[in-house]
Structure 1
Amino acid sequence: MMCSDEPVQFHVPVFDGTLTPTEIHQLLSIFESDFPVNSTSGSETGLTVYSVEERRRRRMISNRESARRCRWKKKRHLEDLTNQVNRLRLENRALKNRLCLVSHHCLVAQRESDRLQTESLLLQQRLSGLYQIMVAMQLQ
């Protein structure tokens, strides 16, 4: 047996932490089965060779799982959009109420402004009249 100083490399698949019951069953069946194993050198040792039927079955399971995830994402996206629509409707209603209140205050301020302008004109006319009376009294 030869001993080398090179480090041994292992291929570790990425695992996201979720397994379906079908995937668990498949993993258990791999450990229990006697599939032929290709023996190669380096980091690719231990690859299992599957039959065409087994690959077709795995692909079908994978496609079903992919479709399930796609439907779940679509459903989640629809829920998010529905929530956003509801939130925007509430915001729109609040803005309409605010606009109505501001419009009302503007109308009240406009009426008060008109009243004050009319009063100002009346007071200017009275002042002008009083001024004319004073001028007339000084001339006499």
Structure 2
Amino acid sequence: MFLSEEADQFELPVHETGFTHEELEELLSFLESNEPVSPNSGSEISTRAVSFIESNEPVSPNYGSEGLTRAVYSADERKKRRMVSNRESAKRSRWRKKMHLENITDEVNHLSIENQQLKNRVNWVVNQYHIVWRENEELRSESVALWAKLADLYRTLATMQPR
């Protein structure tokens, strides 16, 4: 099935104008006929089509219920709107970048403090290790001295005992 045959089967509004396929064909036939068109001319053209032809602006799909036309912007207006939109987007981007930088700075500060605390703790543990190591060395040397005294006492005792 061809695209044009599919378009004839479905009565979906056309995206840009809000008109159905039949309404567009009706508009084209009246525009090609060069006949003056007015709502009271007795022709079969719809009120929406007459409104579209007279205003030369697209009509919203809910024209009858809303009574409003869709805004169409000139190239300058689109450029101005795009510039404003770009400025707002850039402003949001700068704000996000600033927030990200502040978050990273806060994290760096927090990690620096935590790092300093861990360094202090390591220094304390190293100092405690040195204190315990010195005490252990003193106890070992005292133990060696006591073992030497004990050995002397055993020898003295052994010499004093009769055999």
Could you say which TM-score interval applies, normalised by the shorter chain?
A: 0.5 to 0.7
Corresponding residue to 2:126 among 82, 99, 103: 103
User: Is 2:108 aligned against 1:85?
Assistant: yes
Hey, what's the Cα distance between the residues in 1 that align with 2:56 and 2:82?
Answer: 18
SS in 2 for 1:128: helix
Matches within 5 A, 1:34-53: 36-40=57-61, 46-53=69-76
Cα distance change, pair 107–35 in 1 and its aligned pair in 2 (3 A): farther
User: Is 2:139 aligned against 1:116?
Assistant: yes
User: Is 2:154 aligned against 1:134?
Assistant: no
Hey, what's the Cα distance between the residues in 2 that align with 1:94 and 1:77?
Answer: 26
Which residues of structure 1 form unaligned runs of 5+?
1-33
Query: Given the two structures, how large is their TM-score scaled by the length of structure 1?
Result: 0.68
Which residues of structure 2 form unaligned runs of 5+?
1-54
Query: Given the two structures, how large is their TM-score scaled by the length of structure 2?
Result: 0.58
- Give % identity: 43
Residues paired across the two proteins, number: 105
Q: Write the letter of the residue equivalent to 1:85.
A: V
Cα distance change, pair 58–91 in 1 and its aligned pair in 2 (3 A): same
Q: Write the letter of the residue equivalent to 2:144.
A: L
Q: Kindly state the Cα deviation for residue 38 of structure 1 after the two structures are TM-superposed.
A: 2.1
Cα distance change, pair 59–65 in 1 and its aligned pair in 2 (3 A): same
SS in 2 for 1:47: coil
